[in-house]
Structure 1
Amino acid sequence: MPELPEMENYRRLLNPKIAGQTITQVEINRDKSINVNPTLFINTVANQQIVTVNRRGKHLLFHLDNGQVLLLHLMLGGWMYFGTEEDKPKRTIQVRLSFGNHHLYFIGLRLGYLHLYNEQDVQKELSFLGPEALEPQFTLQAFLHLLHNRRGKIKTKLLDQEFIAGIGNCYSDEICYHAGIKTQRSLEDIGAPEQTQLYHSMKHVLQNALKHGGYMENPFFQGDNLTGGYNNLCLVYDREGEKCKRCGSKIIKEKISSRKTFFCPNCQK
């Protein structure tokens, strides 16, 4: 599932391509991918200009000049492609937004969605989200305050979008590996030095993943050499049985609350 680095990478690539551009046509191939009547969706979105694309947690917000917002959550298996009919992927397209001869294709939205809201309602939809991990105002002191009197497994808490927005299965494992802390440990059992290290590891891992385009393996446009660059840089996630690049021990996979987690039994204490 795309997480903060993947969605922020999309946002950064999208704005230069579509901000200020007018949506010339809308195509809906799967009604369940949207939240209103398809005719209403098309009439509301078509011929509108994209003002900007923002991100909140794992969501993207496409702000239209009529005050409406398209809220995207790719969920498991969802991705996007920007290009022409000639170079589009040979995959089923759930939704297509056209900008003249170029199109933004939404693919794999079986669990994901592209919903239409006004500004007030979209803020209500996202009001449950916690702080943004990479925002400058999310300081070490803010993080330590957030941890105060919290309980539960570290992995579970990092996945909680009400706790911190944007971290998912992959980066929770990578953050804990970088911090040298097992994902199975409880928050109440880690002291101040480990809490501080967890914060710095979170910042480092997410920034590094974003720098390399996240781990999504599908390019966003023809000639895109950035997206997915972090896929081969993961140190524990999805590497069960492989050697730890730090100590040589075998990476182990276990489950925590039905979620798979990967860790090095030697490097993470």
Structure 2
Amino acid sequence: MPELPEVETVKKTLQALTKGKTIEEVVVSLPRIIQEPPSPALFQAMLKGQTIHDVGRRGKFLRFFLDTHVLVSHLRMEGRYCLAEKTDPIEKHTHVRFSFSDGTELRYKDVRQFGTMHLYPMGEDLHLPPLVKLGPEPLSEDFTLDGFQRALSGRRTNVKALLLNQAFLSGLGNIYVDEALYTASILPERLVETLSMDEIQRLYTSIRTVLANAVKAGGSSVRSYVDGHGEMGMFQLQIKVYGRKGEACHQCGNPIQKIVLAGRGTHFCKTCQR
């Protein structure tokens, strides 16, 4: 599933590809992607004539800013956007097409069919599900060390599970939680209440550093992820533990281990993480 760095990269490419384009027609081939209200038919009607003025991001969600509405899109497991000419053949698993007045189309493809789209009046999307439930943005100025320390206080769970919780901190997923915990030298099984102040500070710094580096690299293409231009991310070349079960740790040389924690495959080095 695309996480914050991948969605941020898609956001930037879609800004370049769609900003200023006016929607002439919308075709929805898989109605369940559109979350009611509105109905898929009304969704199509409401978007006709709307211009895309900008593309933003909140957590793992894309936000298309139109004339009067905001389109909120979640890519889930394998959703992706691409720009095509209207005359180009429609590829398999293309479920939504936004036809523009300049002869191009923004096409949404999703092999797994788990993606979602919500349409809200301008200014309402942040105050309604799913965005209203999201925690702070880890790369924003509002995400401070003091605030992170306060948010951790009284939590009775393991640190991996908490960091995966989008209501606690938005945008982090399995890849970057494993990488941040490794960089902070903290075992994913550690109970939050056992973390020292020094460990909390290391974790805070690691989260921001790992995510910032991943954004610079265009995200991680460990499965099927590509950006709006169809380009792969490159952060997988910098990954230290995720997906490296049995391979040697870059620091100590001992094999990377994998367990299931919080329902997710979890990678770590038992020597370097404590």
TM (norm. structure 1) is 0.92
| Distance in 2 (alpha carbons) for counterparts of 1:68 and 1:90 | 28
Q: 1:165 to 1:88 in 2, by over 3 A?
A: farther
Larger CA deviation: 44-53 vs 98-107 = 98-107
Confirm whether residue 117 of structure 1 aligns to residue 116 of structure 2. no
Confirm whether residue 161 of structure 1 aligns to residue 162 of structure 2. no
Q: 1:187 to 1:53 in 2, by over 3 A?
A: same
State the match for 2:48 in structure 1.
Answer: 46
State the match for 1:30 in structure 2.
Answer: 30
Confirm whether residue 152 of structure 1 aligns to residue 157 of structure 2. yes
Larger CA deviation: 27-36 vs 103-112 = 103-112
Q: 1:87 to 1:193 in 2, by over 3 A?
A: farther
Q: 1:153 to 1:218 in 2, by over 3 A?
A: closer
Matched AA of 2:80: W
Given that 2:2 and 2:225 are in contact with CA atoms closer than 8 Å, whether structure 1 keeps it comes out as: no
Q: Secondary structure at the match of 2:56?
A: strand
Q: What CA RMSD, in Å, does the superposition of the two structures yield over aligned residues?
A: 1.9
Q: Secondary structure at the match of 1:136?
A: coil
Q: Secondary structure at the match of 2:219?
A: coil
Structure-to-structure mapping, 1:37-76, within 5 angstroms = 37-65=39-67, 67-76=68-77
Number of equivalenced pairs: 266
| Distance in 1 (alpha carbons) for counterparts of 2:60 and 2:228 | 20
TM (norm. structure 2) is 0.90
Q: Secondary structure at the match of 1:231?
A: helix
Which digits, 9 at most, give the CA deviation of each residue in 1:29-69, with x for residues without a partner?
1011112433211111122101211111111111110x212
| Distance in 2 (alpha carbons) for counterparts of 1:133 and 1:237 | 20
% same residue: 37
State the match for 2:8 in structure 1.
Answer: 8
Q: 1:160 to 1:219 in 2, by over 3 A?
A: closer
Larger CA deviation: 87-96 vs 33-42 = 87-96
| Distance in 1 (alpha carbons) for counterparts of 2:225 and 2:165 | 26
Question: What residue ranges of structure 2 are gaps of 5+ in the alignment?
Answer: none
State the match for 2:233 in structure 1.
Answer: 228
Aligned-residue offset at 1:86 = 7.4
State the match for 2:226 in structure 1.
Answer: 219
| Distance in 1 (alpha carbons) for counterparts of 2:186 and 2:158 | 11
Confirm whether residue 84 of structure 1 aligns to residue 102 of structure 2. no
| Distance in 1 (alpha carbons) for counterparts of 2:269 and 2:248 | 9
| Distance in 2 (alpha carbons) for counterparts of 1:195 and 1:161 | 19
Aligned-residue offset at 1:165 = 0.7
Matched AA of 2:85: T
Q: 1:89 to 1:180 in 2, by over 3 A?
A: farther
| Distance in 1 (alpha carbons) for counterparts of 2:25 and 2:82 | 16
Aligned-residue offset at 1:88 = 7.6
| Distance in 2 (alpha carbons) for counterparts of 1:88 and 1:56 | 32
| Distance in 2 (alpha carbons) for counterparts of 1:228 and 1:210 | 9
State the match for 1:140 in structure 2.
Answer: 145
Q: 1:178 to 1:89 in 2, by over 3 A?
A: farther
State the match for 1:98 in structure 2.
Answer: 99
Given that 1:83 and 1:221 are in contact with CA atoms closer than 8 Å, whether structure 2 keeps it comes out as: no
